[in-house]
Structure 1
Amino acid sequence: MDIESPAKLADLLDQHAYLADEGLSTAAFLALRMGRPLFLEGEAGVGKTELAKTMALMLDAPLIRLQCYEGLDAAQALYDWDFARQLLHLKAAEAAGITDAGRLEGEIYDRRFLIARPLLRAIETDPAVLLVDEIDRADDEFEAFLLEVLSDFTISVPELGTISARTPPVVVVTSNRTREVHDALKRRCLYHWLEHPSFEREVAILLRRLPECTEALARQVASTAARLREHGLVKPPGIAETLDWTEALLTLGARDLDPGLAAVTLGAALKYREDVEKVLGSGVLGRA
């Protein structure tokens, strides 16, 4: 897809109900044009993962997601051998009277017995959008390994040889900044920090994603969410939580945000008991 400018990219994202500001659309445009991974950092719920999903829709490419976690290693991200199928193949060969060890070894390490994990799938799929989600949850060793893969999009399988991407995938790496990611990985990428949306943009997102929402409700929810983010909470609500909160209110038939309804649906926006108690005791919902 030929995208000639950041404004055109923003328009294409908008067609899939993702409203990107100028900074984000420019960073994503440059990542596409320069063939560089896009490193998105910011608080949870500000739209990092959603951007990768929307870009996959926009480019008509499969989204391949690698969810990072503590203890994730190369084998879990790259490939594994299907030992159960290999064993069945050996038993079938034995039943057929095949005893040539060299032939059997060659057969069981055939590509059909290789289970492709996200990184290998992304390299073999053309085109593809690879989402490396929450890299800050992975260990330092995996970061170093990922940097090597992103450098040339080539994977070596000792039994099969080298597998290289015909067309490198579009790569989006996200971090919630629970720890600092090493500079070496960031240098490989184009970097963008996602802020919480402005009030007007958040209202626009709510109205776009939830067409049944009234403008009055959207403005009241966005205004309340903005105040909650300034309230020193453990986990302030992101746009994802604001959308959930608004959808919960709409499910209950709300046309505007009254304090009583806001209180009983607060669990859609806040995910910590301490935050809920702090907000309910502060009177902030009374100014919705």
Structure 2
Amino acid sequence: MIEQPPRFSDLESVRTSLADINYLADDGIAGVVYLADRLGKPVLVEGPAGTGKTQLAKSVAEMTGARLIRLQCYEGLDESKALYEWNYKKQLLRIQTEGDGASWSEVEDDLFSEEFLLTRPLLEAIRAEDPVVLLIDEVDRVEVETEALLLEILSDYQVSIPELGTVHARQIPLVFLTSNGTRELSEALKRRCLYLYIDYPDLEREREIVLTKVPGVDENLADQVARIVRSIRQLDLKKNPSVSETLDWARTLVLLGIEQIDAKTAIDTANVLLKYRTDIEKVVKEFAENPVELTGTGTGTGTGTDADT
């Protein structure tokens, strides 16, 4: 294991530093980030889409001054896009240039050298000399065979290239893998990682997120937004509104000059918060039939404990 000084002095410094760049982390999130640094282990972050998993890696990179290297996963991702590939066009040109004047063994040694190697995000992170945060985003989208490519990197921080040998990390990057849970990840991958689940925030935290992230929003509107979104998530929807959609809705209300959300306002702007027609229809119906229950109209905007239970 490569010896390097810790990035964080204690758990509280992690939470404070994240808060300084407007990422509101609870003890669980801050604790896992702290342990990932001290133990030199990757972090597998699971949870619903839009709850801040990707932003966590971006925020850790920002607060540590590290370079963010991102591998966006998708179905069909393979070694040539994730790890490395050889520049075949350049190799062909070299073969044509050499002509008949050199032996094949000499040409072959030259062809499979650093000059012809195209690095992809995983290899780039391993070879980096400057501090790096590696984000492997939506790892659940790749096939199991591609997932296996990650194991050597996640356990030993090295990459094996048959033509060149083993490339060892020059420093240990902070690694974050995110998953929306579209498929079960392998035990081998999970075993190599610390685990963090980021769920939808509770009422108080979502209110605080809205106040932090949305310019011009006041406490009253932020409280209404958080309460209504919390009520909507309790319905049987195809897709619950994410935190990012909560923020979009709050920004929309500020732009429209809304100070008090009533049923009509909620219905007119539901398409900002929800992205499936069936969900919009269901929520609009609930707004129309139960405006007090969903929007809090007539109930005040205090921070009673009934919504937190």
Fold match by TM threshold 0.5:
yes
Q: Is 2:32 the partner of 1:20?
A: no
The answer as to 2:70 corresponding to 1:70 is no
Deviation, 1:89, is 4.0
Which residue of 74, 81, 101 maps to 1:99? 101
Aligned letter for 2:275?
K
- Which region of structure 1 is more displaced relative to structure 2, 134-143 or 8-17? 134-143
**Judging changes above 3 Å, is the alpha-carbon distance between structure 1 residues 247 and 88 closer, same or farther for their aligned structure 2 residues?**
farther
Match of 2:118 among 115, 119, 140: 115
Asked if the contact 2:266/2:287 (under 8 Å) is kept, the reply is no
Deviation at 1:85, TM superposition (A): 2.9
Query: Counterparts of 1:82-161 in structure 2 under 5 Å?
Result: 82-91=87-96, 93=97, 99-100=101-102, 101-125=104-128, 126-161=130-165
User: In the comparison of the two structures, how many residue pairs are matched?
Assistant: 285
Task: Provide the C-alpha distance between the structure 2 equivalents of 1:111 and 1:258, rounded to a whole number of angstroms.
Answer: 64
1:185 corresponds in structure 2 to: 189
Q: Is the 8 A contact 2:7 2:64 kept in 1?
A: no
Query: Against the structure 1 CA distance between its residues 40 and 99, is the aligned structure 2 distance closer, same or farther, given a 3 Å change threshold?
Result: same
CA distance in 1, matches of 2:232, 2:221: 16
Distance 1:2 1:167 in 2: 12
CA contact (8 A) 2:57 2:176 kept: yes
Amino acid at match of 1:105: E
Task: Decide which of 206, 212, 230 is 1:208's aligned counterpart.
Answer: 212
How far apart in 1 are the matches of 2:281 and 2:217?
27
Three-state SS of the structure 2 residue aligned to 1:283 is helix
Tell which deviates more after alignment, 99-108 or 60-69.
Answer: 99-108
Q: Give the residue type in structure 1 aligned to 2:9.
A: E
TM-score (norm 2): 0.86
Query: How many Å apart are 1:181 and its aligned residue?
Result: 1.4
Cα deviation 1:260-286 (Å, max 9, x = unaligned): 332232222212111111111112783
> Could you say if the C-alpha distance between residues 104 and 42 of structure 1 is closer, same or farther in structure 2, counting changes exceeding 3 Å?
same
Is the deviation greater in 17-26 or in 269-278?
269-278
Which string of whole-angstrom CA distances, capped at 9 and with x for unpartnered residues, describes residues 237-272 of structure 1? 121111121122223333343333322322222121
Mapped partners of 2:286, 2:105: distance in 1: 74
| Distance in 2, Cα, partners of 1:38 & 1:12 | 19
- Higher alpha-carbon deviation: 276-285 or 115-124: 276-285
The amino acid of 2:48's aligned partner reads E
What is the deviation of 1:201? 0.9
Pick from 9, 14, 18: which aligns with 2:14?
A: 9
47-56 or 173-182, which moves further after superposition? 173-182
C-alpha distance in structure 2 between counterparts of 1:256 and 1:51, whole Å:
32
- TM superposition score normalised by structure 1: 0.92
Runs of 4+, deviation exceeding 4 Å = none
Letter of the 1:221 counterpart: V
Deviations 1:62-100 (A, max 9, x none): 111112222322232101112233334445x25xx7731
Aligned-pair identity (%): 46
Which among 25, 30, 34 is matched to residue 29 of structure 1?
34
Q: Which runs of 5+ in 1 are unaligned?
A: none
Match of 2:302 in 1: none
CA deviation vs aligned residue, 1:118-154 (integer Å, no higher than 9, x gap): 1101101232111111122222222222122211111
Whether the 8 Å CA contact 2:263–2:287 is kept in 1: the answer is no
1:209-248 C-alpha deviation (Å, 9 max, x unpaired): 1131121211111111101111111110121111121122
Other structure's SS at 2:185 match: coil
Matched, 1:199 2:203: yes
What SS does the aligned partner of 2:239 have?
coil
Question: What is the Cα-based RMSD across aligned positions, in Å?
Answer: 1.9
1:53 CA displacement: 0.5
